[in-house]
């Protein structure tokens, strides 16, 4: 089969790869669409995602959709449209029984966090365990279904924050995760949703999704103590400080955006004096099921997708996805069948 393979920093190749054969309890899927995630960008542009270094050929991709190719059990018919929960959960720990996404020794599609690396799905075929498969509801296009994983990340952040219904919500950062988070907050009944970013393109996309207000940082700042909840999606310390100042006393900040390793400069004195709760968010638990339902009933999420690029132009796709002004979610079409 064909696959997109990262061999190191800015070394992405389209190459032949052994077509995987499913064992008992596994399913082989023909992949249709793969979204470029921030971690994929880091693996390609930097050769590493934080502490996880590409040490062997890595197929990226965990934002995926496709159709069943082969299910040895016969439970899923060929052609069944599906997406995935991309995690393989690790070992349960006391106090974490209901939080398998936090169990140690887990794995994630398209990740260099394990050795050997856990291969992703930017390839013609992908074999996964049956429990990772999510059958799509009728009417949900495969292209939109590729947003299920990042939307699940957004929904997990909202859930960690304690929900948004009836609340004044600030979304910091209007990249793909921020856009999905803002759209979900609007749909879930937030009293108001305000989105910040440092450039205009993402803010224009946020307005198209129906948010109530946008703020370009550098020209404006959010009003102090004007929000009940902040959903921080950039992972930039200055943006977190903005959230600390903007959230009311005893408000909540859900840190959805991933940050680099090491110490970070933050205005913690203000956070402490206002008794703000800063809550970490890591991937998601089972929110992918909620994400699929939301995608099936609301077509506005299509607007988050700004580029659809064939796999033969993958290097161009990764360059485009790095340009926040020009792009929202960039999807790669993975070798559509021609027979």
Q: What pLDDT, on the 0 to 100 scale, is given for residue 261?
A: 77
User: Mean pLDDT across the stretch 279-288?
Assistant: 96
- The answer to whether residue 22 is domain-embedded is yes
User: Mean pLDDT across the stretch 139-153?
Assistant: 98
Residue 50, pLDDT > 90, answer no
Whole-angstrom Cα Rg for the chain = 20
- The answer to whether residue 286 is domain-embedded is no
- The answer to whether residue 339 is domain-embedded is no
DSSP state of 56: S
- The answer to whether residue 15 is domain-embedded is yes
Measure the CA–CA gap between 170 and 185, rounded to whole angstroms.
10
Q: Residue 274 belongs to what domain range?
A: 155-280
Do 255 and 193 fall into the same domain?
Answer: yes
Q: What pLDDT, on the 0 to 100 scale, is given for residue 339?
A: 37
- The answer to whether residue 258 is domain-embedded is yes
Q: What is the CATH number of the domain that holds 91?
A: 3.90.180.10
Kindly report, residue by residue over 237-278, the tens digit of the pLDDT. 999 999 999 999 999 999 999 887 788 999 999 999 999 999
Do 49 and 165 fall into the same domain?
Answer: no
Q: What is the CATH number of the domain that holds 262?
A: 3.40.50.720
Measure the CA–CA gap between 242 and 239, rounded to whole angstroms.
5
Q: What is the pTM of this model?
A: 0.96
Do 203 and 315 fall into the same domain?
Answer: no
- The answer to whether residue 167 is domain-embedded is yes
Sheet holding 227-232, edge to edge: 213-216, 192-197, 168-172, 227-232, 247-255, 277-280
Do 171 and 246 fall into the same domain?
Answer: yes
Do 234 and 165 fall into the same domain?
Answer: yes
Residue 338, pLDDT > 70, answer no
Q: What pLDDT, on the 0 to 100 scale, is given for residue 260?
A: 79
User: Mean pLDDT across the stretch 164-174?
Assistant: 98
DSSP labels for 128-179? EEGGGEEEPPTT--HHHHTTHHHHHHHHHHHHHTT--TTSEEEEE--SHHHH
Query: How much of the chain, in percent, has pLDDT values that exceed 70?
Result: 99
Number of domains comprising the chain: 2
DSSP labels for 22-50? --TTEEEEEEEEEEPPHHHHHHHHHSEET
Residue 66, pLDDT > 70, answer yes
- The answer to whether residue 293 is domain-embedded is no
Do 116 and 53 fall into the same domain?
Answer: yes
Do 75 and 116 fall into the same domain?
Answer: yes
**Letter string b/e over residues 24-51, b meaning 16 or more CB atoms within 10 A of that residue's CB:** eebbbbbbbbbbbbbbbbbbbbebebee
Q: What pLDDT, on the 0 to 100 scale, is given for residue 150?
A: 98
Mean pLDDT of the chain: 96
Q: What pLDDT, on the 0 to 100 scale, is given for residue 337?
A: 74
Q: How far is CA 36 from CA 33, 64, 84, 94, 149, in A?
A: 10, 10, 15, 35, 11
Do 88 and 51 fall into the same domain?
Answer: yes
Structure tokens at 68: 């069943």
Which helix (DSSP H) or strand (DSSP E) does residue 333 occupy?
strand 329-333
- The answer to whether residue 150 is domain-embedded is no
Do 312 and 269 fall into the same domain?
Answer: no
User: Mean pLDDT across the stretch 320-334?
Assistant: 97
């Amino acid at each position: 089969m064909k696959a997109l393979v990262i061999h190191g920093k800015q070394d992405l190749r389209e190459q032949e790869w052994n077509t995987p054969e499913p064992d008992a309890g596994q399913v082989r899927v023909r992949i249709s669409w793969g979204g470029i995630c921030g971690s994929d960008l880091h693996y390609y542009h930097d050769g590493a995602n934080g502490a996880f270094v590409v040490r062997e050929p890595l197929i990226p991709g965990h934002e995926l959709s496709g159709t069943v190719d082969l299910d040895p059990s016969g439970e899923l018919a060929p052609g069944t449209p599906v997406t995935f929960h991309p995690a393989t959960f690790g070992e349960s720990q006391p106090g974490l029984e209901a939080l398998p996404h936090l169990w140690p020794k887990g794995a994630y599609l398209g990740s260099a966090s394990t050795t050997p690396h856990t291969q992703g799905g930017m390839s013609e075929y992908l074999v996964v365990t049956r429990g990772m498969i999510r059958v799509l509801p009728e009417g949900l296009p495969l292209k939109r279904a590729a947003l299920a994983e990042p939307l699940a990340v957004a929904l997990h952040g909202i859930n960690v924050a304690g929900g948004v219904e009836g609340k004044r919500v600030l979304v910091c950062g209007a990249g793909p995760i921020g856009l999905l988070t803002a759209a979900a907050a609007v749909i879930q009944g937030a009293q108001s949703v305000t989105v910040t970013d440092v450039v205009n393109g993402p803010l224009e996309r946020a307005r198209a999704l129906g948010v109530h207000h946008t703020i370009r940082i550098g020209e404006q700042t959010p009003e102090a103590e004007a929000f009940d909840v902040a959903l921080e999606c950039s992972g930039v310390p200055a943006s977190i400080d903005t959230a600390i100042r903007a959230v009311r006393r005893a408000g909540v900040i859900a840190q959805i955006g991933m940050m680099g390793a090491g110490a970070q400069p933050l205005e913690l004195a203000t956070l402490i004096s206002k008794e703000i709760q800063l809550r970490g968010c890591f991937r998601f638990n089972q929110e992918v099921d909620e994400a699929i339902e939301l995608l099936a009933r609301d077509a506005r999420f299509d607007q988050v997708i700004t580029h659809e690029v064939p796999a033969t132009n993958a290097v161009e796709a990764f360059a485009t996805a790095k340009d926040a002004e020009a792009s929202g979610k960039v999807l790669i079409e993975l070798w559509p069948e021609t027979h």
